[in-house]
A and B are shown apart, each in its own frame.
Chain A
Amino acid sequence: MTVFFHYSVHGSANVYLVGNDATREALIIDPAAFTIGLLDFIEGKGYAVKAVLVTHNHAHHVDGLRTLLRIYDAEVYSSNATLGEIPCRMVQDAEEFTVCGIDVKALSVPGHSADSIVYLFDRLLFTGDVLHAGLIGKTMSQYGNRLLKEQLVKKILSLSDDCMVLPGHGPPSTIGAEKLYNLGWKKTRSELNRDHYDLFI
């Protein structure tokens, strides 16, 4: 298995190409944009793109999908039934499947968006926007923030410390580093206040 990283200027997003070196099949994770440069790269490596894995339906992660599907006959995996008019193979929490000969486990981590899914390839974790180096995903509400933290603690921080985190934006990291250096685990002022008030209940 070979993993290539492509920086898309569209939303400063990371696009990943995961290739199966034995079959020369490849999958793309979060096609933020599908550019000539990316196409040339894939063709230069001799891969045929057979699948697209989408972490969540935000523009900076799916805008290249339509262009990609005009070129490659690829199956789209997502937690949604459709993305726009594009039909998807729906994946569910904790579902394990094989794509391009590579074993993948999907984990639902809502909070940043209701449809957020991360994909675990052995010790490679493609986190989309739920977990970045040093930060957790942005949320729309305190409820979303708490939900996201709960899900991350339950499903992601329980993974091996040397599991690599490959996020939708920014540089890579590891689970071990995120446990120690992520600002998301710091308590917000409202959370600190809540602890304080709890003393008087």
Chain B
Amino acid sequence: MYEFRRCSVPGCEATALSNADSCADHHPDPGAMAASVVESFRDVGLIKNLNVAGLRFEGADLSGKRFYSCSFSRTVLRNMTFTGCTFRMCFFDFSLVDSCDFSGIDAQFCSFAGARFLNASFEHSELVHNNFDGVQASYCTFNYTNLYNSRFIMAEFEKTDFIDCNLKRTFIFPTKETDVSWRLSNTQEAIRDLDRIDQ
């Protein structure tokens, strides 16, 4: 894991960003920090133990990178390309994901809880054992994706498709579902009833 150093600003309990003394809210130049983080990704394939929580990223192509134990919590991701990326134990909680391409990713044991997805693609991905609780997804596609053991508790879907997905052991308890297609997906193997939970 990344170091859980506290932000250097007195009274702030947030975890400091990697390679910085403060959190994103108290960093003197978070824009420059985000740019330097993206630049540092240029020649490396494996990114481990990185905390960039709360930073804003826009327009970067990070396809094919492997992220292990990284925190993107509360980040703003706009027009980002993560095609074919691998994520293990990464956190995207409460992030805003706008027009990003996550197609063909392999994400396991990650949390996207409370994230807002707008016009994002997760097509042809392995999304096994991930937390999508409370996500608000609009104009998104999860088509042809393996969602084994992932959770969509109190999620909201609007014009979002789950065509031909593997939903075995997927917990689906949405609070809002508008214009959603589950065509060709094994919805009967999904867990949509609390009585079927055996833990």
Contact = CB atoms under 8 A, between A and B. Distances in A.
Interface of A: 1-3, 5, 7, 12, 122-124, 129, 132-135, 137-138, 160, 162, 164, 168-174, 176-177, 180-183
A172 B109 contact: yes
Interface string B117-156: 0000000000001110110000000000000011101100
23 contacts: A2-B49, A3-B1, A3-B89, A5-B88, A12-B149, A124-B1, A133-B111, A133-B151, A133-B153, A134-B133, A134-B153, A134-B171, A170-B131, A171-B110, A171-B149, A171-B151, A172-B91, A172-B110, A173-B133, A174-B93, A180-B134, A180-B154, A183-B173
Contact of A138 (B53, B154, B199): B199
A154 B131 CA distance: 24
B94 interface: yes
Contacts of B73: 162, 174
Contacts of A133: 111, 113, 131, 133, 151, 153
Contacts of A138: 197, 199
Nearest to B154: A181
Contacts of A160: 13
B99 interface: no
Given A177-B111, A177-B113, A134 B93 contact: no
B4 interface: yes
A133 B152 CA distance: 10
B interface SS class: loop
Interface residues of B, number: 35
A22 B69 CA distance: 18
B39 to A, nearest CB: 26
Contacts of B91: 164, 172, 174
Contacts of B1: 1-3, 124
Q: Closest 6 CB pairs between A and B?
A: A134-B153, A177-B113, A181-B134, A171-B131, A181-B133, A134-B133
Contact of B111 (A1, A124, A172, A182): A172
Contact of B151 (A134, A137, A168): A134
A162 B110 contact: no
B81 interface: no
A52 B168 CA distance: 31
B129 A181 contact: no
